[in-house]
Structure 1
Amino acid sequence: MNCAQKEAIVTAPLPSSIEIVEVGPRDGLQNESTLLPTATKVELIERAIAAGARRIEAVSFVHPRLVPQMADAEAVMAAAPRRDDVSYSGLVLNRRGFDRALGTGLTEVNVVVVATDEFSERNQGVTTEEGLRTWEDIATRAHAAGVRAVATIAVAFGCPFEGPVSSDHVVELARRIAEAGPFELALADTIGAGVPTQVGELIGRIREKTGARLRCHFHNTRNTGYANAFAAAAAGVSTLDASVGGIGGCPFAPDATGNIATEDLEHLMAGMGVRTGLDLEELSRTGTWIGERLGKEVPALLGRAGPFPRQ
C-alpha cells in the first residue's frame, strides 16, 4: 500500500450511520470461564435490545464438550424475546449445527471458514478447503430454508499458528465464498493482529473482487481494534461486530482477549457523527452488569470513565 492509499484511509468520509451487531451473548460468553445460567444469557439479550441492538448473535451450535458455555443454545433461543425488528444469528460449523439452528427459528446463520489449515483443524477439525465445501453446502440449505447465510473468514489478518496470512489468499477465499451468495461476508481479526492500513487494503480488494456486502469483526488483543473499526468504516463497511463489555475471545486461540466493546465503539462512532441507533448509557450499564455476573472487571472503559461530555 503506497502513501496515497494510506492517506485515503485517514481522510475518507465516514458514513452517516453504521450497523453494529451485538455478539456478546455468543462470542462474548464463549471464552469466559464462568458458566452463566440460561436466564442470565436471556437477560443479556434483553438488555442488548433495550440498548438499541437489532441484530444479535445470540448462540452457537457446537459440541458442548468443546464449548460448554454454549451448551444451552436451544433453551436460550426458546426464551429469547421475539420481535419483528430484532434478528438473531447463530454460529454453525457443520450440517448438524445448521440443522439444530434451523429448529430454533433463527433469522440467520454464521458459517466460519478459517483462512489457515492449522487453525481450521484445531477450531473445526477440517482443512480450509473442507471448510469451504461446508460453507457451500450450508449456504445452499439456508437459501432453500429462507434463512440468511453469513460467511466469516476467521484469522483473516493473522494466525496464531501460521503467522501472517497473505492478503492474496484471503481475497481468493472471499471470491470463492461469494460464489455461494452470502447475505454478508465478514472479515474476522480473530487474534487482534491487524492494523488499519491492512484493513483498508483488504476491504478494498475484496469489494472490488466480489461486490459482496462486507462486515468486520475485530478483537482488541493488541489494542488496535478500535483503530481498525474506524478504518473499516472509512473504507465503506456497513456493519461492525462488537461485544458489550468487551468480553470474549476465541477458545481455540492462545492468549485470546476480548472483542471490541460495544459501548466504547458507540462512543467512538457517536463522537464522529456516525449514527448506530444504540444507547450509550444503557450499553455501559449492561457492560458493568455482565462483568458482575462473570465476577470480573470487563475490558470496556466506558463503564469506568463514563461518557463525555457528561449529561
Structure 2
Amino acid sequence: MAHNHSHDHQHGPADGNYGRAFALGIALNLAFVAIEAAGGLWANSSALLSDAGHNLSDVLSLALAWGATRLARQPASERYTYGLKSATIQAALLNAALLYAALGIILWDAIDHLLHPTPVDGRIVMLLAGIGILINGFTAWLFRSGQQGDVNVRGAYLHMLTDALVSAGVVVGGGLVLWTGWLRLDALISFGILGLIAYSSWGLLRETVQLSLQAVPPGIDIAAVRQFLLARPGVTQVHDLHVWPLSTRDTALTAHLVRPGGADNAFLQALQAALQAEFSISHCTVQVEDTVPVAGGHGGCEE
C-alpha cells in the first residue's frame, strides 16, 4: 500500500499589514473613551457612559486582536508545530466574551438611570457623540479592505462601524432630550444601543465559538470538498476527511484518497493548488492509498 503525503504552506503576513491601523485605532479610541466618560459624568448621561464603556471594550478588543496577529507571525517550533496561529482564534473568542460582559455592566447602569432619572446636558451629549461618529467611522475605514478575509479584522471593522452608528443614535437622543425634556429618554436610548450591539455581535460570537471548537470554517462546504476530491483524476474513494481552522486566516485539511496506482508529484501539486484556489485551504496533508482500506482499519497513523 502506497502512502503519499502532500503538504502545502502559504503564509502571508499574519496581520495583513494592519499593524499601523490597529495602533492608530487604539490610540484614537482610547483618547476618545477618556473624553466621553468625563463628558458623560459631567452631563449625567447614561447614553454617553454606555457608549464610553462599549468603546473601552473595543480598545481592549483591538489590542487583543493586534497582539494575537503578532503572535501568529511566530514560526513553528518543536513544541508548537503549527506556530501560534491559533492565538487569533482565542483572541477573537475572548473579545466576543468581553463584549457581552461589558454589555451586562452597562445594562445595570442604564436600569439605574431609568429608575432614578436625573437631568441630562443634551448639548454635551450631542457634541461628544458627534466626535464619536468621526473617530469610529475613520477607524472602521482603516479596516474596511481586510474585513472579508479575517474574523479578527472583521471584528474590528464591525465594532467600529457599529460604534459610529450608535454615536449617531446618541446625537439624535441628545437632541430629543433637549427638545422634549423627558429625562428617562436617555436611559431608553441606552437600552436601544445595548440591543443593537448585542444583535450585531451575535454572529461574531457564534463564529468564534465554532472556530475555537475546530469546526469547519464558515464559507467552506465539507460536502463540496469531498465531491471535489472525488472528482480528481483516478480517485475512487475519500475517507478520514478533516477540515479545520489553524487561525482566523489559515485553514488545514487532511484526507485519505483511494487512487489505484498511487499518485505522483504532479497529481499532488495540482491538488494543492486546486484546494487553495477553490476553498482557500492553505495547508493540506493527503495520504494516497492504492487499495480500499479494510473496514475499521483506518483513522489513525499508518506506516
Q: Which has the higher contact order (CA 8 A, sep 6+)?
A: 2
Larger Rg: 2
Richer in helix (by share): 2
If the length of structure 1 is used for normalisation, what is the TM-score?
0.17
Richer in strand (by share): 1
